[in-house]
Chains A and B, each alone.
Chain A
Amino acid sequence: DGGITQSPKYLFRKEGQNVTLSCEQNLNHDAMYWYRQDPGQGLRLIYYSQIVNDFQKGDIAEGYSVSREKKESFPLTVTSAQKNPTAFYLCASSISTSGGPTDTQYFGPGTRLTVL
């Protein structure tokens, strides 16, 4: 089955620790994205990558870092610099970012991060 997987589903960390969230896709999509969702809020873009070995900051990149060494994988690290890291994190992918139908994004199941 083609799709996007995120792991783990739930993650608990102590304040001050870095934590890495996994995102893998087997859809052969070039573009991948990370979003943050807070209760009652919409989706806010953290980082995105249009192609391997390239990534761009989104609207709320501070305190986060990413890498894109493989087409299938786009891990997100929540660093200790992120002041309010507890949230629901969503990964997505699309064929492209060209402004047309191939921009349709498909989402993973999400990771809920709780920092204690």
Chain B
Amino acid sequence: GQQLNQSPQSMFIQEGEDVSMNCTSSSIFNTWLWYKQDPGEGPVLLIALYKAGELTSNGRLTAQFGITRKDSFLNISASIPSDVGIYFCAGPYAYSGAGSYQLTFGKGTKLSVIP
């Protein structure tokens, strides 16, 4: 399947610090999605981006759809302990031979917040 390269793989930050992570692809995407997964739970959609150059905020989270349509960024401002978890990027790609689109996911950025 299509590969999304997500970085960094993990981050340890102090409470109150800002966080940046990104996702890149060799192919163009029409949609970028950012999910957060708490330990032992299913991923929860944080932000959906549907237009190149789009900048969208959800509370302390801000995500951008790269102008080349091959990348996306997620920023978290003033981190708090409940920001701990794994953040995944995802985007739909044409699934070979089936006439449908499927989501491909990055491998995730594991965020740890030190109080």
| Residues in A lying within 8 Å of B, measured CB to CB | 4, 6, 33, 41-43, 45, 48, 50, 56, 58-59, 88, 90, 92, 97-101, 103-110, 112
Contact of A100 with B107 in the complex, beta carbons under 8 Å: no
Instruction: State the main secondary structure of chain B at its contact with A.
Output: strand
Q: Are B107 and A42 interface neighbours, CB within 8 A? A: yes
In the complex, chain B residues whose CB is within 8 Å of the CB of A110: 40-42
A45 to B42, CA, bound (A): 14
Instruction: Indicate if the CB atoms of B100 and A42 lie closer than 8 Å.
Output: no
A-B pair count, CB < 8 Å, reads 68
Other-chain residue from A50, A56, A59, A90 in contact with B42 (beta carbon distance below 8 A): A90
Query: 1/0 contact trace for B82-93 toward A, CB 8 Å?
Result: 000000101010
- From A42, A88, A99, B30 is in contact (CB under 8 Å) with A99
Query: Are A42 and B102 closer than 8 Å at their CB atoms?
Result: no
| Contact (A42, B106) CB under 8 Å given A98-B101, A99-B30 | yes
Taking CB atoms, residues of chain A closer than 8 Å to B12 are none
